């Protein structure tokens, strides 16, 4: 009788286990409810910026999801899946350089307030939450300088007095305008001249091996000095553009040299100085060599343990005009436990006529990069100078560039370009802590990405870089909404329960 009884018990256990695997499992139910959206109670607003129109982050309508409509191959269709979540969003912002600070303080007080509100207030502006600053001078300074006297290898003369005139007060105003919190990281363009092989802060050169530790100590002193001024430093990059010999401040590191500096000097020094929580970013240069640099450093466990992630710029398109977005994806695939951050991008060779003629390429470079970089795993995106003057400067070597906002230091007037509004389509609505979700387009002229904020709102961004008006659909959870977009336009769709 043992065996029939055993068979009976086995059958009972089997039936129970099958039942437990069904949807009455509370864990599965909870997960399902968290991912599911009640499409009947959802409301959506559409915000649009379009070239050659007056639309600038303007609310242009609402959308309603109705019965599912099967798109045809000739249709423009976007499919969103909010149940699939990817990287956690850190923030969007720009660099608070000497040039930006000096230009800011030459504006009228009214326009200073307008500028700060426009960039840092989420309700009335575009809600920047991220900032980059420089460790002493870069090309966007009115002169080359550092924080110690020449030859002071013990750093006894270290001080940040130079920054007290413009950059420190400017940065404090930005933090205040952002509600008292701004995720700040710092980047050096060059060590002091005496630490380098060419004895010059400009024109490349390398950090002398005997100054590796001194230079690591310099970072720690900078962080402590800025934090003593009430400016918390979240992280730092090791070197701006470590493969570029520029006519301005620059310094060359091979991948192996950067790896060894991280693991032997900078990482241990920050820990020793009580700064081990600061996030170290490697590379800080273009997408083209992103994988080579990341793999050399991150394949070394002793270096990788100090590294938060890899930073990159967008200037690799000087070769053939084509951004190398795929390199970002490959790094994320290979090192999924490390982060990616876009650390710098601007439109080069300032030409006022391009602003006056509303050249779509200026703003669309931002839109294309942000959409592709986020879709490839990037957690944060940083513009270069947040403000420049009417010449695209000041810049002590004549490297004049565009900024999303230009301030005329002669008239005090502010010019907000379409690049500002394009960035705002992301930064205003995607908030720190958001998760990227799936958003896929069926046609090449419509680029898209999407995020789900911590409050449950869904943000879908759609950019039309074609010369044509377009009708398109958005489908989510087997419900479809119909929309229209103007040529050379970007739209943000915000969905709330």
- Is 405 part of a structural domain of the chain? yes
Answer yes or no: is pLDDT of 23 > 50: no
- 350 and 403 co-located in one domain: yes
Among the options 102, 249, 316, 344, which is catalytic? 344
Q: In what order do the strands lie in the sheet with 479-485?
A: 58-63, 43-50, 489-496, 458-464, 446-452, 435-441, 77-88, 470-476, 479-485, 66-67
**Of 287, 294, 296, which Cα lies nearest the Cα of 316?**
287
Domain CATH code at residue 474: 2.60.40.1180
Give the residue numbers spanning the domain of 421: 90-429
| Crossing angle of helices 326-334 and 290-298, rounded to 10° | 10
- 47 and 186 co-located in one domain: no
- 189 and 138 co-located in one domain: yes
- Is 154 part of a structural domain of the chain? yes
Going by pLDDT thresholds of 50, 70 and 90, the confidence category of residue 369 is very high
- Is 346 part of a structural domain of the chain? yes
**Of 373, 398, 397, which Cα lies nearest the Cα of 383?**
373
- Is 22 part of a structural domain of the chain? no
Local structure of 247: helix, strand or coil: coil
Tell me what the mean pLDDT of segment 314-335 comes to. Answer: 97
Domain CATH code at residue 134: 3.20.20.80
- 336 and 478 co-located in one domain: no
Answer yes or no: is pLDDT of 266 > 70: yes
DSSP 300: S
Local structure of 193: helix, strand or coil: helix
Q: Of 411, 429, 447, which closes a domain?
A: 429
Sign for the CA dihedral angle at 52, 58, 60, 65 comes to positive
**Of 494, 414, 419, 496, which Cα lies nearest the Cα of 461?**
494
* Cβ density class 440-474: b for 16+ within 10 Å, e for less: ebbbebbbbbbbbbeeebbbbbbbbbbeeebebbb
- 248 and 377 co-located in one domain: yes
Answer yes or no: is pLDDT of 283 > 90: yes
Answer yes or no: is pLDDT of 94 > 70: yes
- 339 and 231 co-located in one domain: yes
The per-residue pLDDT for 42 is 87
Number of domains in the chain: 2
What is the pLDDT of the chain when averaged over all its residues? 93
Please write down the HEC assignment for all residues of 407-420: ECCCCCCEEECHHH
- Please say whether the beta carbons of 99 and 395 come within 8 A: yes
Answer yes or no: is pLDDT of 486 > 60: yes
Tens digits of residue pLDDT in 237-258: 999 999 999 999 999 999 999 9
For the chain, how are helix, strand and coil distributed in percent, rounded to 5?
Answer: 35, 25, 40
- 250 and 366 co-located in one domain: yes
- 363 and 462 co-located in one domain: no
Tens digits of residue pLDDT in 295-308: 999 999 999 999 99
- Is 303 part of a structural domain of the chain? yes
Among the options 241, 249, 257, 258, which is catalytic? 241
What does the alpha-carbon distance between residue 142 and residue 172 come to, in Å, rounded to a whole number? 21
| Crossing angle of helices 418-427 and 360-375, rounded to 10° | 20
Tell me what the mean pLDDT of segment 183-202 comes to. Answer: 98
- Is 2 part of a structural domain of the chain? no
Tell me what the mean pLDDT of segment 404-416 comes to. Answer: 96
Return the percentage of the chain with pLDDT > 70, whole number: 93
Going by pLDDT thresholds of 50, 70 and 90, the confidence category of residue 36 is low
Q: Is 344 a catalytic residue?
A: yes
The per-residue pLDDT for 392 is 98
Q: Is 316 a catalytic residue?
A: no
What does the alpha-carbon distance between residue 185 and residue 236 come to, in Å, rounded to a whole number? 5
Tell me what the mean pLDDT of segment 450-469 comes to. Answer: 98
Tell me what the mean pLDDT of segment 365-382 comes to. Answer: 98
What does the alpha-carbon distance between residue 135 and residue 308 come to, in Å, rounded to a whole number? 19
- Is 6 part of a structural domain of the chain? no
Per-residue CA distances from 373 to 52, 148, 205, 241 (Å): 27, 38, 31, 19
- 463 and 356 co-located in one domain: no
- 67 and 151 co-located in one domain: no
The torsion angles phi and psi of 156, rounded to 5 degrees, stand at -70, -25
Tens digits of residue pLDDT in 95-135: 999 999 999 999 999 999 999 999 999 999 999 999 999 99
What does the alpha-carbon distance between residue 214 and residue 219 come to, in Å, rounded to a whole number? 9
Return the percentage of the chain with pLDDT > 90, whole number: 91
Going by pLDDT thresholds of 50, 70 and 90, the confidence category of residue 434 is very high
- Is 376 part of a structural domain of the chain? yes
Distance from chain centroid for Cα 217: 28
Per-residue CA distances from 174 to 26, 161, 363 (Å): 46, 19, 23
What does the alpha-carbon distance between residue 154 and residue 235 come to, in Å, rounded to a whole number? 24
Q: Of 370, 396, 429, which closes a domain?
A: 429
Q: Of 429, 458, 473, which closes a domain?
A: 429
Secondary structure E strands in 207-364 = 235-237, 279-286, 307-313, 339-344
Answer yes or no: is pLDDT of 286 > 90: yes
Answer yes or no: is pLDDT of 191 > 80: yes
The per-residue pLDDT for 39 is 80
- 205 and 303 co-located in one domain: yes
Cβ neighbours, 10 Å, residue 478? 9
**Of 460, 462, 455, which Cα lies nearest the Cα of 497?**
455
- 191 and 273 co-located in one domain: yes
Going by pLDDT thresholds of 50, 70 and 90, the confidence category of residue 35 is low
């Amino acid at each position: 009788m043992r065996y029939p009884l055993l068979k009976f018990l086995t059958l009972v256990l089997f039936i129970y286990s099958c039942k437990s695997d069904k949807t009455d499992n509370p864990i599965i139910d909870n997960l399902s409810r968290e991912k599911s959206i009640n499409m009947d109670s959802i409301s959506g607003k559409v915000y649009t910026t379009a070239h050659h129109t007056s639309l600038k982050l303007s609310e242009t309508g609402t959308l309603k999801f109705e019965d599912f409509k099967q798109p045809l191959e000739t249709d423009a269709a976007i499919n969103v899946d909010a149940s699939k979540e990817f990287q956690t969003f850190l923030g969007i912002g720009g660099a608070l350089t000497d040039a930006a600070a000096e230009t800011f303080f030459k504006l009228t007080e009214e326009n200073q307030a307008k500028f700060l509100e426009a960039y840092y207030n989420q309700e009335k502006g575009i809600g920047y939450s991220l900032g980059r600053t420089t460790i002493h001078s870069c090309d966007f300074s009115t002169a080359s300088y550092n924080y110690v006297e020449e030859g002071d290898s013990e750093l006894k003369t270290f001080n940040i007095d130079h920054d007290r005139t413009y950059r420190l007060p400017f940065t404090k105003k930005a933090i205040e305008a952002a509600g008292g919190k701004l995720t700040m990281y710092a980047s050096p363009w060059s060590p002091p001249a005496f630490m380098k092989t060419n004895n010059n802060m400009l024109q490349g050169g390398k950090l002398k091996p005997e100054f590796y530790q001194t230079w690591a100590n310099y970072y720690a002193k900078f962080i402590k000095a800025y934090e003593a001024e009430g400016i918390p430093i979240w992280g730092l990059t090791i070197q701006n553009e470590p493969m570029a010999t520029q006519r301005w401040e620059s310094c060359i590191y091979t991948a192996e040299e950067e790896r060894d500096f991280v693991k032997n000097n900078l990482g241990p020094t920050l820990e020793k100085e009580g700064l081990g929580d600061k996030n170290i970013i490697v590379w800080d240069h273009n997408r083209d060599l992103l994988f080579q640099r990341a793999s050399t450093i991150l394949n070394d466990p002793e270096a990788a343990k100090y590294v938060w992630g890899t930073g990159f710029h967008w200037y690799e398109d000087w070769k053939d005009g084509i951004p190398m977005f795929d390199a970002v994806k490959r790094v994320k695939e290979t090192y999924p436990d490390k982060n990616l951050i876009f650390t710098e991008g601007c439109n080069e060779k300032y030409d006022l006529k391009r602003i006056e003629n509303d050249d779509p390429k200026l703003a669309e470079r931002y839109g294309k990069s942000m959409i592709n970089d986020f879709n490839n795993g990037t957690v944060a995106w940083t513009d270069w100078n947040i403000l420049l003057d009417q010449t695209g400067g000041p810049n002590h070597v004549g490297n004049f560039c565009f900024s999303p906002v230009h301030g005329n230091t002669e008239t005090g007037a502010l010019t907000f370009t379409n690049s500002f509004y394009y960035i705002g389509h992301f930064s205003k609505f995607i908030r720190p802590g958001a998760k990227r979700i799936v958003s896929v387009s069926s046609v090449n002229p419509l680029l898209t990405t999407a995020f789900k904020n911590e409050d449950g709102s869904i943000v879908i961004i759609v950019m039309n870089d074609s010369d044509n008006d377009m009708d398109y659909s958005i489908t989510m959870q087997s419900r479809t909404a119909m929309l229209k977009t103007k040529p050379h336009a970007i739209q943000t769709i915000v969905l709330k329960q």
